[in-house]
Amino acid sequence: MTPPGWTPGLTLRVAVIADIHVCEPWMPLDRVAEIVDATNALAPDLVLLLGDYPASRTVAWHKVPLPDLVRLFDGLKSPLGTYAVLGNHDWWDDRAAMVARRGPVESHRLLEARGIPVLDNDARRLTKDGHPFWLAGLGDQEPFLPLGDPRSLADIPGTLARVTDDAPVLLMAHEPDIFTKVPRRVSLTLSGHTHGGQIRMFGISPALLGSSRERYAYGHVVEDGRHLIVSGGLGVSKVAVRFGVPPEIVLLTLGQASPTA
């Protein structure tokens, strides 16, 4: 696709990895290693990690230490590097952060220590073939338990204030709900979180049916000329079942090559 406001001549291959939820037996480390290899085989220019690295306690028979997971991310290879945001489970899994009501959480510390920037209401200016673009990431929207806690860490105005020119913006936001507030200045928003409903039949996700999240359950969404892509992700949460939503690495090819003379 060519998103709105995209620079002519800027072509970008982006691999998106969402909702790994590492745990035994559903997402062991050897499977994560296969995901890393499969991502590299796609030859992306840029790799984006959309959060939720640990699994929920409702599905994990055995917890996998997060340092072991993040160490595998060292194997991700792309010319423009790997960038990350955090998800709700990265917060919920950190008991100290739940008590203190603040981070940085373990996932954040480990990713940064391995050289993977966590864009927490931050933006970075990157360049591909002489064409600049911005990669931005939001803080998590559901960081605190219990689930009724309304506090969100996502700051769209503060994040976009870091964008200092008119180059196109890619925005990472773990939960897609915030898309209603994303301005046209953003060319494309990338989210995970929903697992595509995790169980999906006839294009419907029963777990999300009737909720505000149903409209952003899965795939490419266009509203008012703004574009959102929601990954089905890789792992499981709440129940250890995926049906009708195969685990996926999303590969985006953005823009078109300049015509040859």
Instruction: Kindly state whether residue 3 falls inside one of the protein's structural domains.
Output: no
Instruction: Kindly state whether residue 1 falls inside one of the protein's structural domains.
Output: no
Give the H/E segment covering residue 110: helix 106-113
Residue 176 pLDDT exceeds 60: yes
- Give backbone dihedrals phi and psi of 207, rounded to 5 degrees, phi first: -65, -25
Instruction: Kindly state whether residue 7 falls inside one of the protein's structural domains.
Output: no
Q: What's the mean pLDDT when you consider all of the chain?
A: 94
Instruction: Kindly state whether residue 260 falls inside one of the protein's structural domains.
Output: no
Kindly indicate the confidence band of residue 210, based on its pLDDT and cuts at 50, 70 and 90. Answer: low
Can you tell me the distance from the alpha carbon of 158 to that of 227, in angstroms, rounded to the nearest whole number?
A: 21
Strand-pairing partners, residue 239, are: 237
Q: State pLDDT tens for residues 22-61.
A: 999 999 999 999 999 999 999 999 999 999 999 998 899 9
Instruction: Kindly state whether residue 5 falls inside one of the protein's structural domains.
Output: no
CATH code, domain carrying 73:
3.60.21.10
The whole-number average pLDDT for the span 56-70 is 94
Query: Is 212 in contact with 168 (CB distance < 8 Å)?
Result: no
Instruction: Kindly state whether residue 42 falls inside one of the protein's structural domains.
Output: yes
Can you tell me the distance from the alpha carbon of 114 to that of 158, in angstroms, rounded to the nearest whole number?
A: 26
How open is the CA angle 187-188-189, to the nearest 5 degrees?
135
Structural domains of the chain, count = 1
Supply 52's token pair: 């939720």
Positions of E strands within the chain: 12-17, 46-49, 82-84, 122-128, 131-137, 169-172, 188-191, 219-223, 226-230, 250-254
Query: Is 247 in contact with 232 (CB distance < 8 Å)?
Result: yes
149-152: which pairs have CB atoms within 8 A and are 24 or more residues apart?
152/178
Q: Give the closest residue to 258 by CA, choosing from 166, 76, 130, 91.
A: 130
Q: Which domain holds residue 204?
A: 12-254
100 secondary structure, DSSP code: H
In the chain, what percentage of residues exceed pLDDT 90? Answer: 84
Whole-prediction pTM = 0.94
- 């992306």: which residue's tokens? 44
Instruction: Kindly state whether residue 165 falls inside one of the protein's structural domains.
Output: yes
Residue 125 pLDDT exceeds 70: yes
Q: Please, which residues have CB within 8 angstroms of residue 222's CB and are 6 or more apart in sequence? A: 228
Residue 134 pLDDT exceeds 50: yes
Instruction: Write down the pLDDT at residue 157.
Output: 98
Strand-pairing partners, residue 15, are: 47, 251
